Amino acid sequence: MLLYVDAQYTSPYAMSVFVGLKEKDIPFDMQTLDLGTGANRTPEYASVSVTQRVPTLVDGDFHLSESSAITEYLDETFPGAALYPADPKAKAQARQIQAWLRSDLLPIRQERSTDVVFYRPTTAPLSATAEQAAHKLFKAADALLAQDADHLLGTWCIADVDLALMLNRLILNGDAVPARLADYAKRQWERASVQAWVQMPRPPL
Quote the CA–CA distance of 34 and 54 in Å, as a whole number.
10
pLDDT per residue as tens digits for the range 91-118: 999 999 999 999 999 999 999 999 999 9
- For residue 174, the SS3 value is coil
Q: H or E element: which one contains 128?
A: helix 128-144
Reported in sequence order, the residue ranges of the chain that DSSP labels E, i.e. its strands, are: 2-6, 29-33, 56-59, 62-65
User: What whole-number distance in Å separates Cα of residue 191 and Cα of residue 23?
Assistant: 10
pLDDT at 3: 98
pLDDT of residue 147: 87
Instruction: Tell me the helix, strand and coil percentages in the chain, rounded to 5.
Output: 55, 10, 35
pTM above 0.75, yes or no: yes
Mean pLDDT for back-to-back runs of 10 residues, the chain (205 residues): 97 98 98 94 93 96 96 97 96 97 97 97 97 98 92 95 98 97 97 98 93
Diameter of the chain by CA atoms?
50
Whole-number Å distance between alpha carbons of 186 and 59: 32
Per-residue model confidence (pLDDT) at position 154: 87
Question: In this predicted structure, what is the pLDDT of residue 148?
Answer: 83
pLDDT at res. 85: 96
Q: Domains along the chain?
A: 2-81 (3.40.30.10), 88-193 (1.20.1050.10)
